[in-house]
Structure 1
Amino acid sequence: MPGDLDMNKLQEEAARRAREMQARARIPPPRKPAREAPRPEQPAPPPPAPSPAPSQEESPLGVFFQDKERTVILALLLLLSGEEKNNELLFALFFLLL
């Protein structure tokens, strides 16, 4: 049938194009320099000791304002708390705060 021939021709053309794209996508391995200069090995410096975190007295609400995402969720909770129809949305936002 003419339709089958067209479909086979289209499939062959698609397979050919896919092979061409794969061949173009192959990245050659990086070239190594012809001559590498010998590097004297130096011992790695020890990692710096972690500095103690500054002890700041934070309010219980200060935890919520540490990152922008929590602040946005809190703002949405405040804005939507006045509407009585969005209880599911409020619970979902509370869940995101956890």
Structure 2
Amino acid sequence: MKAVVGETVVAEAASEAVISIEGSVYFPPDSVAAGALSDSGTPYTCPWKGKAQYHDVVVGETVLRDGAWSYPAIKESAAARVGRDFSGYVAFDARQVRVEN
């Protein structure tokens, strides 16, 4: 699976390494390209996953505001619900970043 902005791959991982949750594909943290994310100050807390960290996606001079998010420390019940720990995994806003097989 790949997360792509224009022609630039910002994350890439094997299909079995990603996690699909509520229509979003979450990539392992080590699959995200170095320098592709910059932490955003946008606050959000999911009732069942916990506190989110939004990220701006940076590709050259292009900055996609809040184009990605992660949950640095998910609730224990969230891991049980999904079937594995997805702390730190990164999902991308489909309106800004293309995710493809």
Which structure has more strand as a fraction of its residues?
2
> Which TM-score band (shorter chain)?
under 0.3
Of the two, which has the highest radius of gyration?
1
- When normalised by structure 1's length, the TM-score is 0.16
Which structure has more helix as a fraction of its residues?
1
- When normalised by structure 2's length, the TM-score is 0.16
Higher relative contact order (CA 8 A, sep 6+): 2
